[in-house]
């Protein structure tokens, strides 16, 4: 409450009161999608989340987002291969802001895979062989399977004994 008083030399007064609420609280902001450190092959993603201030504006990497009933959405295009920055800012009517920054990875390349054993064309009398090799990807974790079974990797390298079916030829 602000009270302003004007008084003349004879003691006549006029008093005015002005109520000015202070908005010192920034809007609450949450990004629901994409998740932090999400990965995609697409060159664009839909960014969505919530903002608790119905009068706030929301931007995604500087572009306005549509806000309806406390939920915002925007399309973020132009993603480059590798890491992309995502910055969502909610600004209320008096300029209080909240920011959420996160990374998004665009991965369009297949992982590399080298099978070092068994060598192509191997014919063996053994009932099993060890399948070995290495797999890697610069942008994403790699899962390796052999005949559909998951394989444990150490620094990208893997090895797994595999039972062979009995076969009396001919061999391809």
Instruction: Report the alpha-carbon distance of residue 160 to residue 145 in Å, rounded.
Output: 10
- Model pTM score: 0.72
Residue 78's contacts (CB-CB under 8 Å, 6 or more residues apart) are 43, 44
Per-residue pLDDT of the chain (172 residues; tens, 9 = 90+): 898 999 999 999 999 999 988 888 999 999 999 999 899 999 999 999 999 998 899 999 999 999 999 999 999 999 999 999 999 999 999 999 999 999 999 999 999 999 999 998 888 888 899 999 999 998 888 999 998 999 988 888 999 899 888 776 655 5
Residue 89's contacts (CB-CB under 8 Å, 6 or more residues apart) are 29, 58, 59, 97, 98, 99
* C-alpha torsion angle, residues 48, 31, 51, 98 (rounded to 10): -130
């Amino acid at each position: 409450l602000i009270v302003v008083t004007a008084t003349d030399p004879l003691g006549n007064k006029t008093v005015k009161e002005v109520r000015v609420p202070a908005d010192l609280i920034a809007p609450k902001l949450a990004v629901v999608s994409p998740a932090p450190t999400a990965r995609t092959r697409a060159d664009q993603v839909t960014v969505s989340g919530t903002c608790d201030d119905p009068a706030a504006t929301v931007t995604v990497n500087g572009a306005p987002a549509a806000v309806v009933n406390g939920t915002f959405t925007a399309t973020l295009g132009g993603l480059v291969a590798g890491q992309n920055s995502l910055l969502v800012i909610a600004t209320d009517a008096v300029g209080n802001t909240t920011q959420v920054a996160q990374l998004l990875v665009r991965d369009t390349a297949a992982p590399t895979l080298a099978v070092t054993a068994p060598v192509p064309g191997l014919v063996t009398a053994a009932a099993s062989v060890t399948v070995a090799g290495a797999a890697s990807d610069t942008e994403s974790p790699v899962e390796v399977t052999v005949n559909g079974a998951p394989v444990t990797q150490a620094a990208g390298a893997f090895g797994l004994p595999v039972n062979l079916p009995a076969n009396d030829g001919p061999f391809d």
